[in-house]
A and B are shown apart, each in its own frame.
Chain A
Amino acid sequence: MRRLLIILRREYLAYLLTPGFLLALVAFPVITLASLGVPALVARQAPAATVAVLDLTGLGAGSPGNDLSARIREGDTRNLPSERPARLVALPAEIAGARTPEAAGRLITAYYDAAGKDDTRPAILVLAGTTDDLDARLWTPRARLVDLSGELENRLTDWLQTERMRAAGLDAERIGDIASARVEVKTYSPEASGGVVKMGDRIPQIAAVAVSYLLCMMILVGSGMISSSVIEEKSSRVIEVLVTSAHPAELLLGKVLGILLLFLTVLGALLGAGLLAAGHLPPGLTDGLSKALFARGLLPWALVFLVSGFLMYGSLFAGLAAFCETPREAQSLATPLSMMMVIPLLLVISALQSPDSPIIRIAALIPPFTPFLMLLRVVDNAPAWEVLTGLALMGLTTAAATGVGVQAYRTGALSQGQTTLWSLIRRSLTARN
């Protein structure tokens, strides 16, 4: 135990006292905030979509084209508040002569072709038909998704419903009354604070998903650090001295725990910064957040799964690295294990909607997936036996992974690069001790 702590301390300090670590400490929150803010920034900076309307319905002043043009001018075409509203432009002269949607299509195609790759030309909405069978076609220079189509569809649907109600003999007041009719379904639950389920009540689930992604990131980054540490010690032959000074299990676990402690330091620093920032938030919001995060033991459970998950995967990666002579070998050997982590991440998304589905419940008991999924089950009030079984199986797997890792460490560490990777693996499996 003493030697394990000495190894842990060395690994921890070897990274802690480097400029790279301090940069990462600053870069992590910056990147996180940037990843949250960039989509909104992109939406805000994107140029407003331009739309021209060609109305072939012949319905005069009350035509859908006129109604829609008025809506666009009012800026009533945004999907998100951060988006810029579409801008109405005059119909290009080349298209004005069209009398059918098909003819309009040919003219629009020629109009776009003439512009080459210049995609600044407006989208063109061609409307035809009657209130019984309205034909709406949105043309764009590029065959890509246009968010505008959904909003235009909503506005046209509003117009069509209004026209049909008018045709059915309803007066304008009655039509307005029907159009504004809305029912809001509120969700109630005894688990929700105040009865009604609000966003704050879903924070534990969202936090559990965030912990899963955080663990995945820790494993991917940590595996690289563990591998390079092992390979550096192999290439400099330090490992020969170390294995005569400490048990391979102490070396392996010390290395994994040292890097885990490094991550916990980063998380602790960020948590501390978060607590300081919380002092500047409105009291109601702070209370809601702290209640949500401490509800159902979320934080302690998150720590349990972060630590046990990292320990399980870290031991495997350290063992694999012990077989390798170069970082490239380690990377190729670790790739299947890294790819396997995509599965629980996909399951986590499904688990957010249905944490108690049979597939999620079974997957949460499979050790490689447990650290990613069981936290969602915990915040969903999973039975104690389920959580304990998951933890026990994960503990056994961690012990087995450590055992394999130690054997790999012992065999691989003492190899001199004269044998192949597979012969080393075979030797570790058949070694007597």
Chain B
Amino acid sequence: MAAAPALELTEVTRRFGDRAVVDGLGFRVERGAVFGFLGPNGAGKTTTLRMILGLVAPTSGRLDVLGAVDGRSVRNRIGFLPEERGLHPRMTPLQAAGFLGSLKGVPPQAARQKARTLLEGLGLGASLNTQIRRLSKGMAQQVALVCTLVHDPDLLILDEPFSGLDPVHQQGLETLIRERAAAGATVVFSTHVMSHAERLCDQVVLLARGRKVFDGTVQQARSRAPGRLILEGELTPEVIAALPGVAEVAASDLPEGRRLEVWLSPGVEAHQTLSAAFRAGLPIRRFESREPGLHEAFLLLTGTRADLPEVAGA
């Protein structure tokens, strides 16, 4: 018999008036997994997280959160980091950890001690007694994350945790997420920055306009996106377009010959098309195969036409 999941949603819908913000959503997150909840802004990610936490009731459908109908009755086993800091600005990091930890059932002294260890590990040992309003955004974000960890939650829910962080702090946050997962916690985080999901997630769900458009591993998501080939030489777009597996070709002139950007059909391996080109004796001077990333899969699966910006250093 399979172990009970940490989180399972079945046909969950949430309407505000006539508008379905989340529509028939279903997925399952195994215990100990790092789960990425992806989608463009307004896709319904935050509303879904709020339903999981029990802050918003679903209009229909069923949730199973650590064996409960929502997060309210198991709130001591959940750690939640909202998109914005969520800390009293006049508290110090240790006071905040003591206060929030005690709300989760940890004795304040133990919460402060745990927070001290975690913050020192993140290089914030000098700011333990500095008011949070005086910390930088990145430092405050790390303090907020530590406050969600002091009670060792079984389920960690992070809403856009990388938003506004510089590359150094992003790296530190990724390390923390990996450590929590290694310690057995289930981590669910929402983001629209694909590179974090690519590096961290065992499983991703892509959401667009309130509907699930993909549920699987990162590798499975990538395979949904078309691969690309860059070809240079005395080539014509018509000849390349006739090769097997080619979906689209764009050409640009070089001082000598042309540079062709070739999009392959989903599921087609680049070496299949290249082999056909060499067998046909085409005058290829240089070639380059570009594997599809989660970013391309995201654009394809969510139906987003405009390129999404990738965060620098991500």
Query: Is there contact, CB below 8 Å, between B55 and A243?
Result: yes
A3 to B80, CA, bound (A): 17
Q: If the complex has contacts A237-B82, A414-B50, A414-B56, are A245 and B104 also in contact, measured as CB distance less than 8 A? A: yes
14 additional contacts, CB 8 Å, given A233-B88, A240-B80? A3-B103, A6-B102, A6-B103, A236-B85, A236-B86, A237-B86, A238-B88, A240-B86, A241-B87, A241-B100, A244-B55, A246-B75, A247-B72, A414-B55
A7 to B84, CA, bound (A): 21
Query: Is there contact, CB below 8 Å, between B103 and A237?
Result: no
Interface residues of A in 1-56 (CB under 8 A from B): 3, 6-7, 10, 14
Query: Is there contact, CB below 8 Å, between B84 and A237?
Result: yes
CB distance from A349 to the nearest CB of B (A): 42
By a CB distance below 8 angstroms, the chain B residues around A7 are: 103
> Is A117 an interface position by the 8 A CB rule?
no
Task: Closest B residue to A245 by CB, please name it.
Answer: B103
> Is A144 an interface position by the 8 A CB rule?
no
Query: Is there contact, CB below 8 Å, between B56 and A241?
Result: no
Query: Is there contact, CB below 8 Å, between A236 and B75?
Result: no
Task: Closest A residue to B82 by CB, please name it.
Answer: A240
> Is B270 an interface position by the 8 A CB rule?
no
CB distance from B108 to the nearest CB of A (A): 9
Task: Closest A residue to B72 by CB, please name it.
Answer: A247
> Is B53 an interface position by the 8 A CB rule?
yes
Query: Is there contact, CB below 8 Å, between B100 and A245?
Result: yes
Query: Is there contact, CB below 8 Å, between B99 and A236?
Result: no
> Is B293 an interface position by the 8 A CB rule?
no
Task: Closest B residue to A244 by CB, please name it.
Answer: B80
A235 to B271, CA, bound (A): 55
> Is A432 an interface position by the 8 A CB rule?
yes
Task: In the A-B complex, list the 5 residue pairs whose CB atoms are closest, starting with the nearest.
Answer: A241-B86, A237-B84, A245-B103, A240-B82, A244-B80
By a CB distance below 8 angstroms, the chain B residues around A332 are: none
Q: How many residues of B contact A (CB 8 A)?
A: 28
In this complex, which of A3, A6, A238, A246 has the most chain B Cβ atoms within 10 angstroms of its Cβ? Answer: A238
Query: Is there contact, CB below 8 Å, between A244 and B89?
Result: no
CB distance from A193 to the nearest CB of B (A): 52
> Is A187 an interface position by the 8 A CB rule?
no
User: Beta-carbon contacts of A395-433 to B below 8 Å, as 1s and 0s?
Assistant: 000000000000000100010000000000000000111
- Chain A: interface secondary structure? helix
Query: Is there contact, CB below 8 Å, between B78 and A244?
Result: yes
A170 to B36, CA, bound (A): 112
Interface residues of A in 238-283 (CB under 8 A from B): 238, 240-247
User: Beta-carbon contacts of B47-74 to A below 8 Å, as 1s and 0s?
Assistant: 0001001111100000000000001100
Interface residues of B in 83-111 (CB under 8 A from A): 83-90, 99-100, 102-104
By a CB distance below 8 angstroms, the chain A residues around B71 are: 244
A290 to B90, CA, bound (A): 43
Query: Is there contact, CB below 8 Å, between B55 and A432?
Result: no
A14 to B144, CA, bound (A): 19
CB distance from A432 to the nearest CB of B (A): 5
Query: Is there contact, CB below 8 Å, between B85 and A244?
Result: no
By a CB distance below 8 angstroms, the chain B residues around A238 are: 85-88
Query: Is there contact, CB below 8 Å, between B103 and A236?
Result: no
User: Beta-carbon contacts of B7-49 to A below 8 Å, as 1s and 0s?
Assistant: 0000000000000000000000000000000000000000000
A244 to B153, CA, bound (A): 13
User: Beta-carbon contacts of A173-202 to B below 8 Å, as 1s and 0s?
Assistant: 000000000000000000000000000000
Interface residue from A6, A410, A431 paired with B99 (Cβ < 8 Å)? A6
Interface residues of A in 203-258 (CB under 8 A from B): 233, 236-238, 240-247
Task: Closest A residue to B79 by CB, please name it.
Answer: A244
A350 to B78, CA, bound (A): 56
Query: Is there contact, CB below 8 Å, between A236 and B78?
Result: no
By a CB distance below 8 angstroms, the chain A residues around B104 are: 245
A6 to B104, CA, bound (A): 11
In this complex, which of B54, B102, B148 has the most chain A Cβ atoms within 10 angstroms of its Cβ? Answer: B102
CB distance from A225 to the nearest CB of B (A): 15
A233 to B103, CA, bound (A): 16
User: Beta-carbon contacts of A324-355 to B below 8 Å, as 1s and 0s?
Assistant: 00000000000000000000000000000000
CB distance from B115 to the nearest CB of A (A): 15
A247 to B50, CA, bound (A): 14
A410 to B53, CA, bound (A): 13
Query: Is there contact, CB below 8 Å, between B75 and A432?
Result: no
By a CB distance below 8 angstroms, the chain A residues around B83 are: 237
CB distance from B141 to the nearest CB of A (A): 12
CB distance from B205 to the nearest CB of A (A): 21
Task: Closest B residue to A10 by CB, please name it.
Answer: B99
Interface residue from B53, B57, B90 paired with A244 (Cβ < 8 Å)? B53
Task: Closest B residue to A247 by CB, please name it.
Answer: B72
A252 to B69, CA, bound (A): 24
Interface residues of A in 60-87 (CB under 8 A from B): none
Query: Is there contact, CB below 8 Å, between B57 and A432?
Result: yes
By a CB distance below 8 angstroms, the chain B residues around A246 are: 75, 103
CB distance from A309 to the nearest CB of B (A): 29
CB distance from A110 to the nearest CB of B (A): 68
Task: Closest A residue to B83 by CB, please name it.
Answer: A237
